[in-house]
Amino acid sequence: MARWDPDSRGRLRQAAFELFAARGYDDTTVEEVAKRAGLTERTFFRHFSDKREVLFAGSAQLQEAMVGAVASAPASLSPIDAAVAGIEAGAAQLPDVATARQRQAIISAHPELQERELIKFASLSTAIAETLRERGLDEPAASLTAEVALAVFRTAFERWVDEANRRSFPELVRDSLDQLKAVTA
């Protein structure tokens, strides 16, 4: 094993997800995760600050991608279309569906992780609303648009990770958006 194995991060995540699923998040230690990945605890801590971060390490990149896309969307786009550009940029940050599904099952089984997820989404909504205000949108339209965009993102995500789903994430986003427009019309 090379000291700077380029895929050690992915291997650690995979090992962690398997152990969280098999024996529960609380009963899995960092030592066990590292061992299963064939790596040391020290390597684990080079990639993740703690056990929980294996699940949430992608949130910062997701937020950065979404906010960046909203900020750089053409000025001619309506607020909701700028927010949708943010969702599309967020979609590109998602892992493959099997990994996303594994992650979601672990989070759903654990109230503390669900709370963490809620906080991450609230922070994302605040950041998108702020970006929309910088584009010149007033309140409460900016906060409402951000909340609506995240509701579209989340419902599309929940359908995407459903075992029975065979549709792509972008298709589900478009469908959620259409349904949103229908219910608010």
Site stretch for its own copies (CB under 8 A), options 25-33, 46-54, 58-66, 147-155? 147-155
Distance CA 58, CA 101 (A): 15
Is residue 84 near its own copies by the rule CB under 8 A?
Answer: no
Q: How far is the CB of 80 from its own copies (least distance, A)?
A: 5
Is residue 71 near its own copies by the rule CB under 8 A?
Answer: no
Is residue 122 near its own copies by the rule CB under 8 A?
Answer: yes
Tokens 């996303």 belong to: 100
Site stretch for its own copies (CB under 8 A), options 15-23, 29-37, 53-61, 156-164? 156-164
Site stretch for its own copies (CB under 8 A), options 35-43, 46-54, 58-66, 112-120? 112-120
Residue 40 or 121 with smaller CB distance to its own copies: 121
Is residue 118 near its own copies by the rule CB under 8 A?
Answer: yes
Nearest alpha-carbon partner for 157 in 93, 68, 69? 93
* The binder of its own copies chosen from 144, 165, 171, 174 (CB under 8 A): 144
Q: How far is the CB of 155 from its own copies (least distance, A)?
A: 4
* The binder of its own copies chosen from 32, 53, 147, 171 (CB under 8 A): 147
Residue 37 or 85 with smaller CB distance to its own copies: 85
Residues 6+ apart with CB under 8 A from 15: 33, 34, 36, 37
Name the residues that contact its own copies, by CB under 8 A.
78-80, 115, 118-119, 122, 139-141, 143-145, 147-148, 151-152, 154-156, 158-159, 175-176, 179-185
